[in-house]
């Protein structure tokens, strides 16, 4: 399936960015191999600014690898990446501009877990060169909004999954980035924390900032995002406004299964004919 171009498709919500405005992220011919395995095979991706963007795909599609390369945590084998108009892998000045403009919440990487929630925010804000008083003020507000004020003096290592995601999000938002990259921000998060995170993200994008997040929960992406990119086996299968990617399918889930070629697996249950129906099939009966 060819990548869908994005030009001229800003009909949704009317608020298209100006013609000359730089996209939040522009990726050209991006490749990454790990030994024999090709994780990302030559993708092109253009993510418009000011949108809530979902990067969806099955496990192992290359979402995390792509986000890591875009955010400067993993060196690409080949390709070019621009974030907010600045090259991520060029000279140090350009990289510095990118890093100052993005916030990230990676999956599977640790935080400095032997700091308390508040200390973690104080530390990361000061590393980013913000004045101490400003960091403390913002940290207090973020801890309040994210419902972490009661646990702010507890070590992050003792936090639950939802609390970890929230403190990670707070650290990512502390310097008011233009683009926020979140890798599976709702994975393993309870509904209450998820709703809190969601509220903060919606407020953040409504001010014109961009959120790019990866997920494999289609209902979530469908309800949150106005722009999606579908990834499978290291390639972009579709990208564009939500309505367009969904097309005629009844839901994003259906469109997604179609795109990644996962339809027609329902028949796999034939061999489980003993399962259910009153338990008249074998040894476990009583």
Residues that bind other proteins (CB under 8 A): 71-75, 92-93, 95-96, 99, 104, 106, 108-115, 118-119, 122-124, 126-129, 131-132, 136, 140, 149-155, 157-160, 163, 171, 286
Q: Which is nearer to other proteins, 272 or 285 (CB)?
A: 285
Contact 84, 96 (CB under 8 A): no
Q: Which is nearer to other proteins, 15 or 114 (CB)?
A: 114
Q: Which two tokens stand for residue 199?
A: 């509220």
Q: List, as own/partner pairs, every contact residues 157-163 make where C-beta atoms lie below 8 angstroms and the sequence separation is at least 24, other chains included.
A: 157/113, 157/114, 159/117, 160/190, 161/187, 161/188, 161/189, 162/188, 162/189, 162/190, 162/192, 162/193, 162/194, 163/117, 163/193
Q: Which is nearer to other proteins, 181 or 213 (CB)?
A: 181
Look at residues 190, 183, 209 and name the one whose alpha carbon lies nearest to residue 63. Answer: 183
Q: Which is nearer to other proteins, 48 or 103 (CB)?
A: 103
Interatomic CA distance for residues 89 and 92, integer angstroms: 8
Q: Which is nearer to other proteins, 74 or 217 (CB)?
A: 74
Q: At what angle do helices 132-145 and 117-127 cross, to 10 degrees?
A: 140
Interatomic CA distance for residues 69 and 91, integer angstroms: 16
Least separation, in Å, of the C-beta of 93 and other proteins?
8
Least separation, in Å, of the C-beta of 159 and other proteins?
7
Q: Which is nearer to other proteins, 11 or 134 (CB)?
A: 134
If one counts every other C-beta atom within 10 angstroms of the C-beta of residue 72, the result is: 16
What value does the CA radius of gyration of the chain take, rounded to a whole number of Å?
21
Interatomic CA distance for residues 32 and 231, integer angstroms: 14
Strands (E) in the chain, as ranges, are 25-34, 37-47, 52-56, 78-83, 86-87, 102-105, 179-183, 210-215, 227-232, 235-241
DSSP tag of 107: S
Q: Which is nearer to other proteins, 76 or 240 (CB)?
A: 76
């Amino acid at each position: 399936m060819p990548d869908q171009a994005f030009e001229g498709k800003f009909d949704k919500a009317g608020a298209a960015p100006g013609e000359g405005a730089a996209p939040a992220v522009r990726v050209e011919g991006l490749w990454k191999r790990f030994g024999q395995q090709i994780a990302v095979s030559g993708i092109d991706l253009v993510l418009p600014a000011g949108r809530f963007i979902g990067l969806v795909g099955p496990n192992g599609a290359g979402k995390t690898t792509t986000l890591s390369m875009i955010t400067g945590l993993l060196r690409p084998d080949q390709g070019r990446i621009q974030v907010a108009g600045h090259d991520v892998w060029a000279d140090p000045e350009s990289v510095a501009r990118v890093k100052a403009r993005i916030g990230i919440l990676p999956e599977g990487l640790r935080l400095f877990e032997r700091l308390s929630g508040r200390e973690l925010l104080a530390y990361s804000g000061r590393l980013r060169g913000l004045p101490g008083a400003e960091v403390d003020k913002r940290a207090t507000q973020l801890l309040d909004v994210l419902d972490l004020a009661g646990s702010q003096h507890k070590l992050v290592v003792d936090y639950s999954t939802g609390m970890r995601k929230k403190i990670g999000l707070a650290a990512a938002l502390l310097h008011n980035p233009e683009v926020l990259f979140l890798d599976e921000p709702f994975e393993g998060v309870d509904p209450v924390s998820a709703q809190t995170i969601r509220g903060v993200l919606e407020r953040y994008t409504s001010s014109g900032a961009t959120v790019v997040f990866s997920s494999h929960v289609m209902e979530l992406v469908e309800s949150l995002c106005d722009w999606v990119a579908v990834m499978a086996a290291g390639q972009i299968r579709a990208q564009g406004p939500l309505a367009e990617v969904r097309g005629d399918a009844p839901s994003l889930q259906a469109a997604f299964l179609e795109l990644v070629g996962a339809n027609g697996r329902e028949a796999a249950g034939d061999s489980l004919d003993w399962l259910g129906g009153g338990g008249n099939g074998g040894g476990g009966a009583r």
